[in-house]
Amino acid sequence: MPSPAPFPPPRPLRRLRLDADLLIALRWGSVLAMAAITLGFPRLLGITIAPLPLLATATFLALVNGAAMLLRHWDREPIPAMTQLMVDLLSWSIVIYFSGGATNPLISLLLPVVAIGAAMLPTLQAWLLGAFSILTYSFLWNFYQPLEVKDATIAVQLHLLGMWLTFLASVLISVWFITRMTAAIRIRDQALARARENEIRNGWVVSLGTLAAGAAHELSTPLATMKLVVDDLVEDAELPPRTRQELAGLKLQIDKCKSALTRLTAEAGRPRAEERRQRRVQDWLEECAHGWRALHPAASIALRIDAEAAGRLVAADVALEQALHNLVDNGVRFSPEWLEVSATVHGPWLHLVIADQGPGIPEDVLAAAGQPLPVHSDSGLGIGLLLARSAIQRCGGQLHLAPRHPRGTDVTLKLPLKDC
């Protein structure tokens, strides 16, 4: 028997996309800062700076950032992070060269660029970026265009103000960047945890599928023999009507078992990536309800379909139908006098609620319902719930259990609608 359809993999953390987002946002901040240094600070602080080289540098950096945004939008291969950070470092070096070189407190803004590179880049590239920044600082120590301060008495105050602004910018950049990276790492860890859980559950379901295939082979012959015996007994004209009715019910159950085994055998040779059929909710549920009532003629099974849900489309396969059947069958087993299946629409989701008035699901099963492996229970619900949840998750849905007051259980299936 082939392995069951894999669970939908957790949405991967796209490290390159995350890095691109961070660099693009920080680079726009750099462009704005360069524009402010060129156009606003000289007049405000009474200093003279050559505007054309600085504006050209800011324009070039904006064009590079625009290209990076377009590549990200088109899902193309992004500009390598090393190249982007080198451009950032070189651009700030040009700005600092024309605004006092190493005497300009803004030279400390080279440090956040190196820190970001150390967090993003491979080890060798990070060291190369650090070495380039040291060479740039050394060059700016000796070669630069000095600032012309109109009032020399405020030069010290301007330097201190520049140091404060540089410290403020470094703190803001560091905190913003580190919090974003920490959040991304947390999301990645959660995705990995879900992947491990799905892997454990997939392995268990594969093992169970192998056992089921063996059981199908072993049970096919005894069931065929039982069916022949029951068919012969039903034809006996001397049987009392009550016995004949009970034999008819037994024959129906045998046919159900043979049908399940036949379906299991057929599914064994079919790829599990099969395309699911899109069904109208009303047609699908009424077809399922016909089968439920045929198997449980003495039970009271009500089907209530909301008018909004009746004509909507849902993707249903054999595994999902079997999961729904197992949940209904379990409800009938504990609450044959009343069971209701209702269908309503909530946004892009179809909510199927199976409500019964039975004794309720044991606490140990409820507590472990979301675990990757089944919990042992005297009611035998652990494996059934695991298989049902697995089939529903493979369809992109969810399964929730909740106690019903004053007694009973509400089992809710959330299935994605296909016509949203």
Q: What is the pLDDT of residues 14-60, one digit of tens each?
A: 444 556 777 888 899 899 989 888 887 777 777 778 889 999 999 99
Report which DSSP code applies to 134.
H
Q: What is the pLDDT of residues 312-324, one digit of tens each?
A: 999 887 778 888 8
Taking the C-alpha atoms of residue 46 and residue 303, their distance in angstroms, rounded to an integer, is 81
What is the predicted pLDDT for the residue at 385? Answer: 75
In a domain, residue 292? The reply is yes
Nearest by Cα to 108 from 149, 49, 164, 53: 164
* Per-residue pLDDT band at 125 (split at 50, 70, 90): very high
- Which of 64-68, 248-252, 257-261 is least confident? 257-261
pLDDT, averaged across the chain: 80
In a domain, residue 43? The reply is yes
DSSP assignment of 225-260 equals: HHHHHHHHHHT-TTS-HHHHHHHHHHHHHHHHHHHH
**Last-in-domain residue among 147, 165, 194:** 194
Taking the C-alpha atoms of residue 385 and residue 420, their distance in angstroms, rounded to an integer, is 28
Domain count across the chain: 3
What is the predicted pLDDT for the residue at 371? Answer: 53
Taking the C-alpha atoms of residue 347 and residue 350, their distance in angstroms, rounded to an integer, is 8
DSSP assignment of 169-229 equals: HHHHHHHHHHHHHHHHHHHHHHHHHHHHHHHHHHHHHHHHHHHHHHHHHHHHHHHHHHHHH
Q: Are residues 107 and 79 in the same domain?
A: yes
Does residue 161 carry a pLDDT above 60?
yes
In a domain, residue 9? The reply is no
What is the predicted pLDDT for the residue at 26? Answer: 86
N-to-C CA span, the chain = 35
Give per-residue burial for 391-408: e unless 16+ CB within 10 Å, then b. bbbbbebebebeebeeeb
What is the predicted pLDDT for the residue at 259? Answer: 75
Q: Are residues 131 and 207 in the same domain?
A: no
**Last-in-domain residue among 268, 299, 321:** 268
Taking the C-alpha atoms of residue 48 and residue 41, their distance in angstroms, rounded to an integer, is 9
Q: What is the pLDDT of residues 386-415, one digit of tens each?
A: 778 878 888 888 888 888 888 888 999 999
Q: Are residues 184 and 250 in the same domain?
A: no
Taking the C-alpha atoms of residue 320 and residue 314, their distance in angstroms, rounded to an integer, is 11
Q: Are residues 158 and 38 in the same domain?
A: yes
* Length in residues, the chain: 420
Where is 6: in which H helix or E strand? none
* Per-residue pLDDT band at 209 (split at 50, 70, 90): low
DSSP assignment of 34-60 equals: HHHHHHTHHHHHTEE--HHHHHHHHHH
Q: Are residues 185 and 242 in the same domain?
A: no
What is the predicted pLDDT for the residue at 61? Answer: 94
In a domain, residue 1? The reply is no
Taking the C-alpha atoms of residue 182 and residue 189, their distance in angstroms, rounded to an integer, is 11
- Measure the CA angle with vertex 325, ends 216 and 362; round to 5°: 100
In a domain, residue 5? The reply is no
Higher pLDDT: 117 or 40? It is 117
Residues spanned by the domain of 95: 15-194
Q: Are residues 104 and 231 in the same domain?
A: no
Q: What is the pLDDT of residues 283-336, one digit of tens each?
A: 999 998 988 888 888 889 999 999 999 999 998 877 788 888 888 988 888 888
Whether the full predicted model's pTM is greater than 0.85, yes or no, is no
Q: Are residues 407 and 286 in the same domain?
A: yes
Q: Are residues 233 and 341 in the same domain?
A: no
What is the predicted pLDDT for the residue at 158? Answer: 73
% of the chain exceeding 70 in pLDDT: 79
Q: Are residues 80 and 173 in the same domain?
A: yes
Residue keyed to tokens 């034999």: 247
Does residue 210 carry a pLDDT above 70?
no
In a domain, residue 2? The reply is no
Q: Are residues 258 and 284 in the same domain?
A: no
What is the predicted pLDDT for the residue at 361? Answer: 72
Does residue 342 carry a pLDDT above 90?
yes
CATH number assigned to the domain comprising residue 362: 3.30.565.10
Q: Which ranges constitute the DSSP H helices of 46-109?
A: 51-73, 81-97
Nearest by Cα to 304 from 278, 282, 274, 334: 282
In a domain, residue 4? The reply is no
Q: Based on the number of CB atoms within 10 Å of its own CB, is 354 exposed (0-12), middle (13-18) or buried (19 or more)?
A: buried
In a domain, residue 6? The reply is no
Q: Are residues 91 and 220 in the same domain?
A: no
% of the chain exceeding 90 in pLDDT: 25
Where is 150: in which H helix or E strand? none
Taking the C-alpha atoms of residue 39 and residue 194, their distance in angstroms, rounded to an integer, is 51
Q: Are residues 314 and 188 in the same domain?
A: no
**Last-in-domain residue among 212, 234, 268:** 268
Cross-strand pairs, 352? 343, 413
CA dihedral 362, 365, 369, 374 (to 10 degrees): -150
